[in-house]
Amino acid sequence: MAMRIAAFIAAGVIGLLSLGLLAVGGILLWGDSQKDDNGFLTTRAERFATTTYAMSTDSLDVEGLDWVVGRDNWGKLRLDVDPRGDTPLFVGVARTADVDRYLRGVQHDLVTDVDVDPFRADYREQRGEARPTRPAAHDFWVASAHGAGHQALTWEVEDGDWSIVVMNEDASRGVDASVKAGADVPFLSDAGWASLAGGLIAIAIAATLAFLGVRGPRNRTAVPA
């Protein structure tokens, strides 16, 4: 009797685990199906604006992801930036330490948090009296785009601490831009199918344990001497 109860309990636990794996797999595959024609999952275009010299993100820490997706499979980040005026824009990605040195003593806004629905961006003003030099004149950017009209940046994600900067190409005050971000997330499909497979295997194990619990141990028939 005790073995049958244990088999039923184990079947229930593994059954719940299988449902979770199937749900996660379905969500990952659904997300993979939402990619655009270029293979990117993208946000809506939203307005980011400041009266200071620049907007920068807090440190984007992507270290430690290699145990999940592999060092060479972190994917790409794409930024589409459109000016909400006639001033040419600059958008760039660089190591946070380089960005901190570049904007040290320069009044700019640090984007600390972004809510998607409804959209809201939180800024923390960094005070300063210095005026920055033109951003495109520096070579520490690992990816950048600048000029009049629409600007598109694509960056192959690497490990480390990174920051994104949006500012006017001439380093003047008052930045007003519409920004859309995207990521290709190459591991979504593989992770989704792996999760579904794990869920099906867990279902099979749970069904086997439940069957053993219902059937119970077979009684041996005594044979008279």
Sign of CA dihedral 28, 29, 30, 35: positive
Top pLDDT among 169 and 220 is at 169
Least confident of 40-44, 105-109, 220-224: 220-224
Q: Could you say which DSSP state residue 87 is in?
A: S
Contact criterion met (CB below 8 Å) for 88 and 170: yes
Whole-number pLDDT of residue 167: 95
- For the segment 78-92, what is each residue's pLDDT rounded down to a tens digit? 888 999 989 999 999
Integer Cα distance of 141 and 22 in angstroms: 42
Q: Looking at residues 186-212, what average pLDDT do you find?
A: 71
Q: Looking at residues 119-133, what average pLDDT do you find?
A: 87
E strand map for the chain: 41-42, 46-50, 54-57, 60-61, 76-83, 89-95, 108-115, 120-126, 143-147, 151-156, 161-168, 175-183
Q: Could you say which DSSP state residue 136 is in?
A: G
Tokens 């996660």 belong to residue: 24
Q: Could you say which DSSP state residue 197 is in?
A: H
For residue 205, the surrounding DSSP H or E stretch is helix 188-215
Q: Looking at residues 102-127, what average pLDDT do you find?
A: 83
Q: Looking at residues 121-133, what average pLDDT do you find?
A: 90
pLDDT confidence tier of residue 185, bands split at 50, 70 and 90: low
- For the segment 6-37, what is each residue's pLDDT rounded down to a tens digit? 665 776 777 677 777 777 766 766 665 666 66
Arch. (CATH architecture) of 36-183? Sandwich (2.60)
Q: Does residue 118 have a cis bond before it (omega within 30 degrees)?
A: yes
Domain ranges of the chain: 2-31+189-215, 36-183
pLDDT confidence tier of residue 101, bands split at 50, 70 and 90: very high
Q: Could you say which DSSP state residue 176 is in?
A: E
pLDDT confidence tier of residue 62, bands split at 50, 70 and 90: very low
Burial of 209 (0-12, 13-18, 19+ CB in 10 A): buried
Contact criterion met (CB below 8 Å) for 152 and 38: no
pLDDT confidence tier of residue 213, bands split at 50, 70 and 90: low
Top pLDDT among 72 and 210 is at 210
0.75 exceeded by pTM: no
Q: What is the mean pLDDT of the chain?
A: 78
Contact criterion met (CB below 8 Å) for 144 and 93: yes
Integer Cα distance of 197 and 48 in angstroms: 42
Q: Could you say which DSSP state residue 36 is in?
A: -
